[in-house]
Amino acid sequence: MKIRFFPIILTLIFIIIFLLFYGGLKKSNIYVPTFNINKKIPNFKAKLFEKAEELNSSEIFKDDQIYLMNIWASWCVPCRDEHVFLDELSKEESLNLVGINYKDDFKRASFFLKELGNPYDIILLDVDGIIAIEWGAYGVPESYLIKNKMIIKKIIGPLNKNLVNEIKKKIQ
C-alpha cells in the first residue's frame, strides 16, 4: 500500500512545483519605478564637460524654455544607438539639449562625441553618479523633458523614432 502512494504523492508534488514555476514565468520581472510627472527638477551643482567651471542647476534651466536632459555614457551601447535621434532633436529651435555624462572616462567621452558629433547645447559631468540618483535615474540612457523647471516626461532607455515624434509634439 505504501509503495502505491509514493508515485502519486511524488507526481502531485511535481505538478504543484511545475504550476508555481509556470505562473512565475508569466509575471513580468522588469522593474519600472513609479515617477510623478510635473515634478520640480532637483537642485544640483555640476562641472561643465570641457571646462573646470561649476554651474548650479538654476543657472542651466530657465523658465519659459524647454529642455531635454539626456543621461549618457561612452561605454553605453544604447547611448550610441540613440545618438542619431539626439542629432535630430538638436535641430529643433525651441528645444535645448542638456547632456549629463554619467560615470565616464573623459577621454573616451570626448572621442565618443568627436566620432558621432555633439548634439548637446551643454554637457555636465556626473563622475560619481550622484546627479543621476538625484534625478531618479537607475540606468543609462535616460531622458527628461523639462518645461518651466518641471519634468513633464521621463524616458527610460534609448530614444527611438516614436519617442522623438512624441517629444516634437509636446514642444510645439
**pLDDT tens column, 59-106:** 999 988 999 999 999 999 999 999 999 999 999 999 999 999 999 999
Does the structural domain 39-171 have CATH classification 1.10.3720.10? no
Q: Is the pLDDT of residue 31 over 60?
A: no
Q: Is the pTM of this model over 0.85?
A: no
Q: Is the pLDDT of residue 28 over 70?
A: no
Alpha carbons 57 and 153: distance in angstroms, whole number: 18
Query: Where along the chain do its domains lie?
Result: 39-171
C-alpha cell at 168: 516634437
Beta strands in the chain (DSSP E): 39-40, 45-48, 54-56, 66-72, 95-102, 122-126, 142-147, 150-156
Q: How confident is the model at residue 9 (pLDDT cuts 50, 70, 90)?
A: confident
First to last CA, the chain: 79
